[in-house]
Amino acid sequence: MPSISRDEVAHLARLARLSVTDDELDMFAGQLDVILRSVAQVGEVAADDIPPTSHAVPVTNVFRDDVIRPGLTRQEALGGAPAVEENRFRVPRILGEEQ
């Protein structure tokens, strides 16, 4: 009995903004299940009193001097955009018609 179902994979795909095909749903459901069963052993050793490590080195914010300096030009920033209009990124509509 797989612990991760086809419907759960479809839900994950929606959360991750991935429009997967039916075939992919079947494939990923099987594979994710095998992978999750294999990696679940991490729960065997990590006791409550062990602090988690998110980073191998201490992470602190880094500030530079507050000095004006050139950044990317508008042309450079827009240069890789899939669509541009009036010197701005042109994006598909974000709100639905009913909104």
Partner 1 sequence: MNSPLIRHTAAELAARIHAREVTSVEVTQAHLDRIQAVDGRINAFLHVDTEGALAAARRVDADLDAGKAPVSPLAGVPLALKDVLTTKGIPTTCGSKMLEGWRPPYDATVTARLHAAGVIVLGKTNMDEFAMGSSTENSAYGVTRNPWDTDRIPGGSGGGSSASLAAFEAPLAIGTDTGGSIRQPGSVTGTVGVKPTYGGVSRHGLVAFSSSLDQAGPCARTVLDAALLHEVIGGHDPMDSTSIDAPVPPVVAAARQGAAGDLRGVRVGVVREFSGDGYQPGVLRSFEAAVKQLTALGADVVEVSCPHFDYALGAYYLIAPSECSSNLARFDAMRYGLRVGGDDPKLGAEEVMSLTREAGFGPEVKRRIMLGTYALSSGYYDAYYGQAQKVRTLISRDFAAAFDTVDVLVSPTTPTTAFRIGERADDPMAMYLADLCTIPANLAGNAAMSVPSGLSDEDGLPVGLQIMAPAMADDRMYRVAAAYEVARNAAADGALIDRVPDVAV
Residue with tokens 């009036």: 86
Q: Residue 27 corresponds to which amino acid?
A: M
- Total number of residues that touch partner 1 (CB under 8 A): 59
Applying the rule CB under 8 A, the residues between 61 and 90 that interact with partner 1 are 61-62, 64, 72, 76-77, 79-83, 89
In whole angstroms, the minimum distance from the beta carbon of 68 to partner 1 comes to 17
Q: Is 29:6 a contact under the CB 8 Å cutoff?
A: yes
6 binds partner 1 (CB under 8 A): no
The C-alpha angle 93, 79, 91, rounded to 5 degrees, equals 0
Residue 55, CB half-sphere, CA atoms under 13 Å: how many? 4
Give the binding site for partner 1 (CB under 8 A): 4, 8-9, 12-21, 24, 27-28, 31-32, 34-36, 38-47, 50-57, 59-62, 64, 72, 76-77, 79-83, 89, 91-96
